[in-house]
Chain A
């Protein structure tokens, strides 16, 4: 069960991303169609699902058929990024109206749920995950926020540039292991 975290600046440039494979047992979420079908056919059905849901999936079906057989709909790197990008619209819409920082789950795509956290400086933290874990995700976002504030306070760090510190990376991983 994996999680993907993206940190985006207010102008939507990616500043940091992380893929984390959790060892915690995942709660069984029903992805309605996929669970009854053998795994080799979910990639084919994923195309239909997304076409029905109206997502811009033209590129995704090509990738789905062109590459090797995948389990579920979202194991590819570019599919993950496409899901994250598509959720930005939903995030922006909620962000304008709601004055909380932790926007719970803003978007759903097959079995992936997208949760978001918006800082006061309008930085977006986007997390793709498969199972529900509201408390853990909230604690994780708070941790990442704290780490981000500490990074920002560094006078040598130019704002809205990619974060490359290895210490930041290791801290985020440790936090992910703890909460996710």
Chain B
């Protein structure tokens, strides 16, 4: 019953002629539903007093130092993994879906993080070369998302297009126990998605995957493997000269 209402609402929206097209805001003027007094999206200019708060009024720096409870996140993440697990056909698919979820987060992390660091400066800068970008991921992104910098960056010796970021105890998988028959699964594909989105946004397209590499000291040690695409390598070569 609770699902019927959103569908009905959307179909009304598609029939009614709203001047702003297919804007799916529930505050859209629709006289059939007695929504609490929300301003219609056809009003321009300043919000009326007592209007609903909108995201453009929020300060971006307000939540800069706030923290999310890791228990709450662990609960949410476990639900996400269980939900995905019911709908996939195998480990690779599960990793790919987690990667997609992380991707959506990564695009937002990139913009928000850059805004918070650069908006105050006179001449905001962005990363154009790969190695500085990788360094900034290693420190800033990790710090923004997890609260501490990642543990190591390595460059692979066999392939010139592979780089690795190593985290000894990734917070998101701390409370996940993987059954033995799925031991190649790493739920850090979520983190890999975040890294992939940040690299994509900066213009370095790559394939990013996560692998478990436990050692004696850190049984949860995870490696995020970044495999750059050829075009990026060529561009880096050209820019190096």
Question: Which chain A residues have a beta carbon within 8 Å of chain B's beta carbons?
Answer: 10, 95-102, 118-122, 142, 145-156, 159, 164-171, 174
Which residue on chain B has the smallest CB distance to residue A99? B128
User: What are 18 of the A-B contact pairs (CB < 8 Å)?
Assistant: A10-B201, A96-B239, A97-B128, A97-B239, A99-B126, A99-B127, A99-B128, A102-B123, A118-B126, A120-B126, A121-B107, A147-B56, A151-B55, A152-B111, A164-B20, A164-B21, A164-B23, A170-B44
Most B CB within 10 A of own CB, among A150, A165, A170? A150
B172 CB, nearest partner CB in chain A, Å = 18
A101 CB, nearest partner CB in chain B, Å = 4
Tell me, in angstroms, the Cα distance from A98 to B24 when the chains sit together: 39
Of the candidates A118, A149, A165, A171, the one whose C-beta lies within 8 Å of that of B23 is A165
Which residue on chain A has the smallest CB distance to residue B124? A101
Most A CB within 10 A of own CB, among B21, B41, B44, B126? B126
B68 CB, nearest partner CB in chain A, Å = 15
Tell me, in angstroms, the Cα distance from A98 to B125 when the chains sit together: 9
- Provide the residues of chain A in CB contact with B108, threshold 8 Å: 152-153
Interface pair B55/A166, CB less than 8 Å apart: no
- Provide the residues of chain B in CB contact with A122, threshold 8 Å: 201-203
- Provide the residues of chain A in CB contact with B112, threshold 8 Å: 149, 152-153
Interface pair A166/B107, CB less than 8 Å apart: no
Taking A121-B114, A168-B56 as known contacts, 17 extra A-B pairs with beta carbons closer than 8 A to each other, sorted by chain A number, are A10-B201, A95-B128, A98-B128, A99-B126, A101-B118, A101-B124, A119-B111, A121-B107, A121-B111, A142-B119, A146-B115, A149-B60, A152-B112, A153-B55, A156-B24, A166-B44, A167-B54
Tell me, in angstroms, the Cα distance from A155 to B55 when the chains sit together: 11
Tell me, in angstroms, the Cα distance from A92 to B224 when the chains sit together: 30
B97 CB, nearest partner CB in chain A, Å = 17
Within residues 6 to 61 of chain B, which ones have a CB less than 8 A from any CB in chain A? 20-24, 41-47, 54-56, 58, 60
Tell me, in angstroms, the Cα distance from A168 to B47 when the chains sit together: 12
Interface pair B110/A121, CB less than 8 Å apart: yes
A49 CB, nearest partner CB in chain B, Å = 33
Quick one: given A147-B56, A152-B107, are A119 and B126 in contact (CB under 8 Å)?
Answer: yes
- Provide the residues of chain B in CB contact with A121, threshold 8 Å: 107, 110-111, 114, 201-202
Tell me, in angstroms, the Cα distance from A142 to B60 when the chains sit together: 13
- Provide the residues of chain A in CB contact with B129, threshold 8 Å: 99
- Provide the residues of chain A in CB contact with B54, threshold 8 Å: 167
Tell me, in angstroms, the Cα distance from A153 to B54 when the chains sit together: 12
Quick one: given A96-B239, A164-B20, A165-B23, are A159 and B107 in contact (CB under 8 Å)?
Answer: yes
Tell me, in angstroms, the Cα distance from A171 to B123 when the chains sit together: 23
Interface pair B124/A170, CB less than 8 Å apart: no
Tell me, in angstroms, the Cα distance from A98 to B126 when the chains sit together: 9
- Provide the residues of chain A in CB contact with B110, threshold 8 Å: 120-121
Quick one: given A101-B126, A153-B112, A166-B41, are A120 and B202 in contact (CB under 8 Å)?
Answer: yes
Interface pair A119/B114, CB less than 8 Å apart: yes
Interface readout for B122-151 with A: 1 if CB under 8 Å, 0 if not? 011111110000000000000000000000
A90 CB, nearest partner CB in chain B, Å = 16
B43 CB, nearest partner CB in chain A, Å = 7
B92 CB, nearest partner CB in chain A, Å = 24
